[in-house]
Structure 1
């Protein structure tokens, strides 16, 4: 199939497909005598895998390492290890985000409970003092 047909089937732009090819994520494609690329049906699967992997946080370098040289040459152990590593990264990010959210919620409570007669400078000092004490 040509690049236009592959683009329609995958929802990707031809320029994105060319980019993935030049980045080494798609197997080298055959060219017709007129210079047009001819993609195999496996290219659709590879593009779907690349797109999905990017959506869940894999970098192009990580994807390049995981993709098989041929359509059926998967390194099961390496793939499983990479997936586990990515889940660990996501869990770590979730923990950091939960901590940041808790700090922000605490700051919001501090600002909301500000005495009506306090000036802005004393309020800022009080909030900053609370933030700094939580960092220790």
Structure 2
């Protein structure tokens, strides 16, 4: 199939397909006598895998290492190791985000616990002091 049909079937722009080819992710196109690319049906599946992997947070370099030269010859142990590393990366990110969320929620609670009748300037000084920050008067 030509690149236009592949782009339609894969749901992406032809320029994206050419980009993936240039990056070495898509190596299965052959050239017709007129120079047009000719893609086999499995190119749709491969592009879907590439798109899904990007959505899951894999870099193009990681995807390149994941994809076998021949789609029928996945390197099982290497694939599992890469996927497990990505899960560990995601878990570390989740922990950092949870910590950041807790800090922000504490700050919101500290700001909202303003004593009744205290003006905003004094409340700001109270909050800064509560955070251990010096406030110039």
Question: Could you say which residue in structure 2 is the equivalent of 1:30?
Answer: 30
Shift of 1:126: 2.6
Report which stretch shifted further, 10-19 or 38-47. 38-47
1:65-113 superposed Cα distances (whole Å, 9 cap, x missing partner): 1110111121111110111111111111111111111111111111111
Mapped contact 2:28–2:43 kept (Cα < 8 A): no
Q: Which has the higher helix share?
A: 1
1:46 Cα offset (Å): 1.1
1:17-39 Cα deviation digits (max 9, x unpaired): 11001110001521112211101
Q: Which residue of 1 aligns with 2:113?
A: 113
TM-score, length basis structure 1: 0.89
CA RMSD of aligned residues (A): 1.6
Between Structure 1 and Structure 2, how many residues are aligned? 133
User: Cα distance 1:61–1:123, how it changes in 2: closer, same or farther (>3 A)?
Assistant: same
CA–CA separation in structure 2 for the residues paired with 1:96 and 1:122: 32
Separation (CA, whole Å) in 2 of partners of 1:129 and 1:86 = 40
Secondary structure in 2 matching 1:24: coil
